[in-house]
Amino acid sequence: MKATEIIFYVLTAITLLSASFVVTARNPVHSVLALILTFFCLTGHYVLMNAQFLAAVNIIVYAGAIMVLFLFTIMFLNLQKEDEESKTTLTKMAAVVVGGVLLVVMVAVFRAASVAPYDPATYNTRVGLVESLGMVLYKDYLLPFELASVLFLVAMVGAVMLGKREPGDRHF
């Protein structure tokens, strides 16, 4: 067995264990920390697939910014033990039904999906590199890429306008 295969199987085992701990953890802070470990393991998978750009974006955006936001939200909510007992049977049954429907949809999608066979003779080693992604974004998808940038600009201007205080407003 090659070293990359060993790394792949170790990362897969850690990913599955930490992802199951995300779902089963009682403490939400422990759940978020397990989710961060899951994101780091997924980043390792991206590196093994020669997708360095996705690996960097996964670390910066998901493991960095989103998880810090989750942690701050959980800390601000100040969840208490009595919140666990306040869930009704109807809420729990609704969660089981929604989970079951999602499982059925996922099974249907996986059964309909087809996996392309791997051919080492035609494999392009430059597939996951940033240069290839940039060429595709700026040639084939230039209009959607620019529209997304305009959308982000409008969202930033809106956030600044919502956060701006008028003279004479009270500070809460």
The 10s digit of each residue's pLDDT in 75-134 is 777 655 555 556 678 888 888 999 999 999 999 999 988 887 878 788 777 776 788 888
Q: Which pLDDT band holds residue 16 (cuts at 50, 70, 90)?
A: very high
Distance between CA atoms of residues 10 and 144, nearest Å: 38
Q: Which pLDDT band holds residue 169 (cuts at 50, 70, 90)?
A: low
DSSP character for 164? P
In single-letter form, the type of residue at position 112 comes to: A
What are the angstrom distances between the C-alpha of 53 and each of 71, 89, 100, 126? Answer: 25, 45, 34, 12
Contacts of 74 (CB under 8 A, 6+ apart): 28, 29, 32
DSSP character for 152? H
Distance between CA atoms of residues 28 and 25, nearest Å: 7
- The stretches of the chain forming alpha helices (DSSP H) are 3-24, 28-48, 52-57, 67-77, 82-85, 89-112, 130-139, 142-163
